[in-house]
Structures are given as structure tokens and as C-alpha cells.
Structure 1
């Protein structure tokens, strides 16, 4: 990906495709392909991120951590209800458990 960003940067400095190819030691067809993709899509990424988007934002994660540290005896269901009322986030107890495991809380 470093090559693609360097390629775009050089092109923005009004360098020709031939010069960029020579500087980066990559074929002209590759430089041309990268530039075409960047002009059409605005990015050089080849794939979209896989999976579904995360349910919790960083703010929600901080609130979840604060809630658990305040009272460690709460169940995942009660934590989910508490976050639902305070943050307006629809979240299942399974998601709460998964997020807590990711933060290092177990049991």
C-alpha cells in the first residue's frame, strides 16, 4: 500500500506515469491502474472491510467498562438494560459478554 500512496503523491506533484514508474521501479501498467482506481473510487483499497459493523462505539465501551467496574456482580442482562436506558443502544446480553471478554473481563 505504500507504493499506491507514493504513486498518488507523485502524480499530485505533476509527475508523469513514466517518471513514477521509473522512480518506484514498478511497471507503467501498475501505475496507470492505481491512478485509474484512485480517480474512480477515491481510494486504492481492493476490498471492503469484511463482517458487520461494530455495535458498540468507543463511548459505549467506556460506559460498559465504567458500569462493570462500579458493580462487578451485575449480570449481562442487567448491564445490557442499563446501557440501553442510559445510552439508547440496543444490545443483547451476548454482545455485552463478547465486549467484556474483549476488554479482559471474564466470569
Structure 2
């Protein structure tokens, strides 16, 4: 019997984006002084994704996706 996958990498694939809510949750955890490792573990997101969201937020002040 197979169970639903809980690994974000397996569910999303590389081309899908996190929702605005999920990106906001990452920033909320960051503002509560959680480490990238802790946020990654808590939310089951790759550390590179968490780091990228935080970096973008620090540089641009937003987590919104870029639209052309």
C-alpha cells in the first residue's frame, strides 16, 4: 500500500512555485529567529528553497513572484 508523499520535492517538482502563504510562513519563522535548518525541517521544504525565500525577502522586501 502506498501512502501520500510528504516530501515537497516529490510533490512539487522543480518548476512549481510555493504559494504566497507558504513563502510568508517561511518569513514568519525567520522573524521568530528560527534557523534555515529548523524552518526546512518544520515545513518540509528544501534548505535551498528556504534560503532563497529569505534572501529575496531581505534584498527586495517581498516574497511575491516576479511577473513580466
Deviation at 1:15, TM superposition (A): 0.4
2: CA distance, partners of 1:16 / 1:47: 26
Q: Which residue in the other structure is 2:58 paired with?
A: 39
**Count of paired positions:** 49
CA distance in 1, matches of 2:30, 2:66: 23
Bigger Rg, structure 1 or 2: 1
Say which structure is richer in helix.
1
Structure 2 residue runs without a partner (length 5+): 1-19
Shift of 1:38: 0.1
Instruction: Give the RMSD, CA atoms, in angstroms.
Output: 1.2
Could you tell me how far apart the structure 1 residues matched to 2:50 and 2:41 are?
A: 10
Segments of structure 1 that go 5 or more residues without pairing to the other structure are 51-107
Alignment TM-score, normalising by the size of structure 1: 0.44
CA distance in 1: counterparts of 2:48 and 2:66, whole angstroms? 20
The alpha-carbon deviation at position 24 of structure 1 amounts to 0.4
The aligned counterpart of 2:22 is 3
Q: Tell me, in whole angstroms, the C-alpha distance in 2 between the residues paired with 1:28 and 1:5.
A: 16
Give the corresponding residue for 1:12: 31
The structure with higher relative contact order (CA 8 Å, sep 6+) is 2
Matched, 1:27 2:46: yes
